[in-house]
């Protein structure tokens, strides 16, 4: 009976979370969907053999660097947008799991965030697939699939764990500092750009399980998907454990906290309120 009662309480809690926080879930889905659409368009413009930019820029390293800059700027734009300021701009199941581990995200919110992230990413790639057909889903674009590089799967795994660890360590360190907090999103965007430019040849630069699944669905390229499902959560959760052991604070699960947008997290934000702002739960 106790288990049944507990299950009912959890179900009621999930229903309440869905009813009250559905805008944040929808934002997470839309945010990753937009990110995937921009990624697909950028890669097609620069990597489609017949595209003018591809013909004008002979160096694959330079093209990859330009894609990195574009995606880093996209990440920054989403994080600092009104959408990102409200949902926290996780856009990544590994990020949500990390903040759940740190006690900042309720279990029901974490479950719905992760579901929304996968759904939004897939919706973005399926939209491009419907609009562009084989030009998007077949090589060389392959729906911007993440695949292990020439060094092999275990190198890709190690690389993905490393970049995830560095990303989350940077986010948590910046977010815990009153002086650096406002730059958390910019730091994350810079790392995205650098990872695409320099790390992508090793692992394809996923950093995000939902992002990799979103590309695999229309392309059918599931090779090495196990890497992308476990590496980013592992690396980011390791960063969280280090953060906890060092006794550092985690004020909020938002990458950019803005008090004119409600916060649904277990938030200890102590920044100076903006005139007339509300801080809803």
Tens of pLDDT along 90-127? 999 999 999 999 999 999 999 999 999 999 999 999 99
273 is a domain residue? no
Tens of pLDDT along 234-269? 999 999 999 999 998 899 999 988 767 889 998 887
138 is a domain residue? yes
What whole-number distance in Å separates Cα of residue 190 and Cα of residue 219? Answer: 28
Q: Are 161 and 235 in contact (CB under 8 A)?
A: yes
78 is a domain residue? yes
Percent of the chain with pLDDT over 70: 91
What whole-number distance in Å separates Cα of residue 5 and Cα of residue 192? Answer: 45
* pLDDT the model gives residue 1: 57
- Alpha helices (H) along the chain: 2-47, 52-56, 60-80, 82-87, 93-101, 107-132, 134-137, 153-175, 184-194, 200-203, 209-219, 225-245
The per-residue b/e assignment along 112-138, b for 16 or more CB within 10 angstroms, e otherwise, is bbbebbbbbbbbbbbbbbeebeeebbe
Q: Are 156 and 51 in contact (CB under 8 A)?
A: no
176 is a domain residue? yes
> How many degrees, rounded to 5, is the angle at CA 20 between CA 267 and CA 3?
85
270 is a domain residue? no
What whole-number distance in Å separates Cα of residue 120 and Cα of residue 123? Answer: 5
What whole-number distance in Å separates Cα of residue 174 and Cα of residue 155? Answer: 28
- CATH number for position 50: 1.20.1080.10
User: Is residue 178 very low, low, confident or very high in pLDDT (cuts 50, 70, 90)?
Assistant: confident
What whole-number distance in Å separates Cα of residue 79 and Cα of residue 58? Answer: 32
CA nearest 262: which of 27, 24, 100?
Answer: 24
Please give the tally of structural domains in the chain: 1
109 exposed, middle or buried (CB, 10 Å; 0-12, 13-18, 19+)?
Answer: buried
163 is a domain residue? yes
Domain that holds residue 76: 18-245
274 is a domain residue? no
What whole-number distance in Å separates Cα of residue 251 and Cα of residue 259? Answer: 13
8 is a domain residue? no
User: Is residue 278 very low, low, confident or very high in pLDDT (cuts 50, 70, 90)?
Assistant: very low
Highest-pLDDT range among 14-18, 50-54, 120-124, 175-179: 120-124
Tens of pLDDT along 194-211? 999 999 999 999 999 999
């Amino acid at each position: 009976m106790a288990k049944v009662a507990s299950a009912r309480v959890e179900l009621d809690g999930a229903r309440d979370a869905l009813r009250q926080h559905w805008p944040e879930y929808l934002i997470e889905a839309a945010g990753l969907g937009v990110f995937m659409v921009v990624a697909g368009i950028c890669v097609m413009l620069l990597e489609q053999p017949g595209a003018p930019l591809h013909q004008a820029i002979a160096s694959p390293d330079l093209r990859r660097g330009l894609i990195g800059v574009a995606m880093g700027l996209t990440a920054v734009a989403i994080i600092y947008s009104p959408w990102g300021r409200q949902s926290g701009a996780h856009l990544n199941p590994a990020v949500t799991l990390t903040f759940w581990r740190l006690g900042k995200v309720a279990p029901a919110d974490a479950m719905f965030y992760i579901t929304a992230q996968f759904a939004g990413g897939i919706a973005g790639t399926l939209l491009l697939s419907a609009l562009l057909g084989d030009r998007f889903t077949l090589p060389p674009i392959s729906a911007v699939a993440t695949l292990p590089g020439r060094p092999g799967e275990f190198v890709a795994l190690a690389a993905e764990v490393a970049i995830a660890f560095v990303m989350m360590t940077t986010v948590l360190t910046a977010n815990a500092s009153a002086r650096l907090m406002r730059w958390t999103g910019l730091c994350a965007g810079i790392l995205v750009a650098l990872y695409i430019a320099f790390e992508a040849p090793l692992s394809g630069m996923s950093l995000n399980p939902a992002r990799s699944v979103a590309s695999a669905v229309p392309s059918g390229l599931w090779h090495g998907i196990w890497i992308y499902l476990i590496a980013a959560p592992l690396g980011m959760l390791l960063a969280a454990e280090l953060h906890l052991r060092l006794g550092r604070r985690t004020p909020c699960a938002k990458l950019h906290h803005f008090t004119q947008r409600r916060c649904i997290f277990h938030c200890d934000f102590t920044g100076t309120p903006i005139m007339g702002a509300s801080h809803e739960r």
